[in-house]
Structure 1
Amino acid sequence: MGISRRAFVTSALAAAPAAALVTSLASHSSAAPATRAAGTRALGDVVGKITTGYQGWFAARGDQAPIDGWWHWSHNWSQPPSATNHALMSWPDMREYSNVYPTAFADLGGGGPATVFSSHDDQTVDVHFRWMREYGIDTAALQRFNPNGSEGPTRDDMAEKVRAAAETHGVKYYIMYDVTAWDDMQEEVKADWTAKMRSHISSPAYAMQDGKPVVGIWGFGFNEPNKTWPPEVCQDVIDWFHAQDVYLMGGVPTHWRTGTQDSRPGFIEVYRSLDMLSPWMVGRLTNLADIEHFYQHVNTPDQAECDEHGIDYQPCVIPGDNSRRHRLHGDFMWRQFYNLTRIGVQGLYISMFDEYNEANQIAKTAETQDDIPTDSGFLALDEDGTFCTSDYYLRLTGDGGRMFRGEIPLTEARFTPPAG
Structure 2
Amino acid sequence: MKPNMNGFKARAAAPGTKKSVAFGLLAIALVSCSQNDLYDGSGSESSGNKFGASVFGSPVGDVVGKVTVGYQGWFAAAGDGSPYNSWQHQNLEMWPDCSEYTSTYAGSPFTQAGVTQPGYFGNLGNGQPAKMFSSYDQQVSNVHALWMQQNGIDCIALQRFGSAIVAGSVKKAQFDGIATRMKNAAQTYGRKFYIMYDCSATDPIDADWTSTITGTLNLVASPNYAKQNGKPVVCFWGVGKSGRGTTADWLTKINWFKAQGCYVIGAPLANFATDTPNQPAYNACDMIMPWHVGKQGGFQATYTSDLAYCNANGLDYQAMSYPGTAFYNTNGASSPQNQIKRMYGNFMWSQFAGMRNAGVQSVYVAMFDEAQEATSIFKCAEDASQIPAGKYFLTLDADGVACSKDFYLRLVNNGGKMVKGIIPYQATHTTPYTNYLDVCDASTGWISANTLSVNTTDKKEGTASLQSVGSGTDEFKKVFTPFNSGASVATGKIQFWYYVSDITRFSASNQIEVGSGGAADVNEYNWNIGPLVNGWNLVTKTFATASTTGGTPNLNAINWIRIYHSKTASITTKVDAIQVFP
Aligned to 2:406: 391
Among 382, 393, 398, the residue aligned to 1:367: 382
- Alignment partners' CA distance in 2, 1:274 and 1:341: 24
Opposite residue 276 of structure 1, the aligned amino acid is M
Aligned to 1:100: 104
- Alignment partners' CA distance in 2, 1:60 and 1:194: 30
Aligned to 1:44: 61
Cα separation, partners in 2 of 1:118 and 1:6, compared to 1, 3 Å: farther
Shift, 1:5, TM fit: 2.5
Shift, 1:197, TM fit: 0.7
Aligned to 1:123: 139
Which runs of structure 2 are paired with 1:153-302 in the superposition (5 Å)? 153-179=173-199, 184-185=202-203, 188-198=204-214, 199-223=218-242, 227-259=243-275, 266-285=277-296, 290=297, 293-296=298-301, 298-302=302-306
- Quote the sequence identity (%): 41
Shift, 1:6, TM fit: 4.4
State whether residues 316 and 348 of structure 1, in contact with CA within 8 Å, keep that contact through their aligned partners in structure 2.
yes
State whether residues 321 and 365 of structure 2, in contact with CA within 8 Å, keep that contact through their aligned partners in structure 1.
yes
Query: In the alignment, is residue 145 of structure 1 matched against residue 165 of structure 2?
Result: no
Among 74, 82, 88, the residue aligned to 1:65: 82
Among 125, 138, 143, the residue aligned to 1:109: 125
State whether residues 399 and 416 of structure 1, in contact with CA within 8 Å, keep that contact through their aligned partners in structure 2.
yes
Opposite residue 210 of structure 1, the aligned amino acid is N
Residues 35-54 of structure 1 deviation map (CA, whole Å, 9 limit, x = unaligned)? xx998631001100000000
Opposite residue 158 of structure 1, the aligned amino acid is I
Aligned to 1:5: 2
Which structure has greater helix proportion?
Answer: 1
Query: In the alignment, is residue 307 of structure 1 matched against residue 323 of structure 2?
Result: no
Aligned to 2:39: none
Bigger radius of gyration: 2
Aligned to 1:413: 428
Shift, 1:295, TM fit: 2.2
Residues 204-226 of structure 1 deviation map (CA, whole Å, 9 limit, x = unaligned)? 11111011111111111113xxx
- Alignment partners' CA distance in 2, 1:93 and 1:284: 27
State whether residues 193 and 226 of structure 2, in contact with CA within 8 Å, keep that contact through their aligned partners in structure 1.
yes
Shift, 1:8, TM fit: 7.3
Aligned to 1:28: none
Aligned to 1:346: 361
Give the structure-2-normalised TM-score.
0.60
Higher relative contact order (CA 8 A, sep 6+): 1
Comparing 343-352 with 316-325, greater Cα deviation is found at 316-325
Shift, 1:375, TM fit: 3.4
State whether residues 327 and 333 of structure 1, in contact with CA within 8 Å, keep that contact through their aligned partners in structure 2.
yes
Shift, 1:184, TM fit: 4.4
Opposite residue 135 of structure 1, the aligned amino acid is N
- Alignment partners' CA distance in 2, 1:325 and 1:390: 19
Aligned length: 360
- Alignment partners' CA distance in 1, 2:239 and 2:343: 32
Opposite residue 49 of structure 1, the aligned amino acid is K
Residues 131-150 of structure 1 deviation map (CA, whole Å, 9 limit, x = unaligned)? 00011100000000022154
Which structure has greater strand proportion?
Answer: 2
* Secondary structure of residue in 1 paired with 2:289: strand
Comparing 393-402 with 409-418, greater Cα deviation is found at 409-418
Opposite residue 219 of structure 1, the aligned amino acid is G
- Alignment partners' CA distance in 1, 2:69 and 2:239: 20
Opposite residue 147 of structure 2, the aligned amino acid is W
Residues 151-172 of structure 1 deviation map (CA, whole Å, 9 limit, x = unaligned)? 1110011111011000000000
- Alignment partners' CA distance in 1, 2:422 and 2:5: 38
Structure 2 residue runs without a partner (length 5+)? 9-53, 108-118, 327-337, 436-582
State whether residues 384 and 395 of structure 2, in contact with CA within 8 Å, keep that contact through their aligned partners in structure 1.
yes
* Secondary structure of residue in 2 paired with 1:402: helix
- Alignment partners' CA distance in 1, 2:3 and 2:280: 26
- Alignment partners' CA distance in 2, 1:184 and 1:310: 26
Aligned to 2:150: 134
